[in-house]
Structure 1
Amino acid sequence: MTLQHIALESDWQAAQAAGRYPVSTRGQLIADVGFMHCSTPEQTAGVRERFYSDVTEPLLLLTLDEPALAAHGLEVRREPPAPGVAELFPHVYGGDLPVECVAGVRVLR
């Protein structure tokens, strides 16, 4: 399964300098939330519309390498985003994302 994460360009630039990406979702850190919010390609447009539609900063779509995540001790769990919601979203547990786990980056228009 392809895992994707929407990132602010400034957050990704800072992560490249630090070697780790600490953001769970817009305005929240993995250390505070406990996991990184991700989506499948089919879910990404809806996530962008619901949570990032007012963002003026450039947005990037990070594609994660699931085997690399496992190699770094990170675990992917498919979970509902809220009680009573049937749709499952991928969440990455285990700490900040090493930048080498990102297989692709593209600008979202």
Structure 2
Amino acid sequence: MATILHLAFPDQWEAAKQAGSYRWSTRGKSLDDGATFIHAARPEQVGMVANFVYDDVEEPLCLLVIDTERLVSALCDEDLDAIGISFPHIYGPLNLDAVVDVRPYLRGADGRWPEVLDHSLRS
């Protein structure tokens, strides 16, 4: 099973379960607000993304573990910012059955968002 991850606020994930799909692209942006895709990351990219996008967030986040083979919407691996690093992007809503696990994501003792070291998440 190939997996990717998406950082989410727990309340947005709970709302998605009630709505039937997840539509948040990234912090403060959703498909309903004109975003064209949902940002995702590979496990080794999560800490970098979290410390950039969620640097001032104190509340816990959650990691949506997504089975790429279950996705209904298109998945593209892209370097849209031309930084030499490609990221997975989901072009459309995230179907709930593609989310195979939801894990709490907490800041480390040093105050930074940690890297994901769980080897079971690496594909």
Q: Work out whether the TM-score is over 0.5.
A: yes
Matched, 1:78 2:108: no
Query: Which residue of 88, 96, 99 maps to 1:99?
Result: 96
Separation (CA, whole Å) in 1 of partners of 2:13 and 2:87: 21
Separation (CA, whole Å) in 1 of partners of 2:3 and 2:94: 16
Q: TM-score if structure 2 supplies the norm length? A: 0.79
Name the residue aligned to 1:67.
Answer: 69
CA contact (8 A) 1:9 1:57 kept: no
Question: Match of 2:14, as an amino acid?
Answer: Q
Structure with the bigger percentage of helix = 1
Q: What is the identity percentage for the equivalent residue pairs of Structure 1 and Structure 2?
A: 38
How many angstroms does 1:53 deviate by? 1.9
How many angstroms does 1:75 deviate by? 1.3
Name the residue aligned to 2:37.
Answer: 35
Matched, 1:22 2:19: no
Separation (CA, whole Å) in 2 of partners of 1:48 and 1:23: 15
Higher Rg of the two aligned structures: 2
How many angstroms does 1:96 deviate by? 1.3
Aligned residues: 104
- In the alignment, structure 1 segments of 5+ residues that lack a partner are none
- In the alignment, structure 2 segments of 5+ residues that lack a partner are 107-123
How many angstroms does 1:3 deviate by? 0.6
Q: TM-score if structure 1 supplies the norm length? A: 0.89
The runs of 4+ residues in structure 1 deviating greater than 3 Å are none
Question: Match of 1:105, as an amino acid?
Answer: V
Matched, 1:2 2:3: yes
Separation (CA, whole Å) in 2 of partners of 1:108 and 1:86: 26
Alignment root-mean-square deviation, CA = 1.2
Q: Deviations over 1:70-92 (max 9, x none)?
A: xx2x111111141x311100001
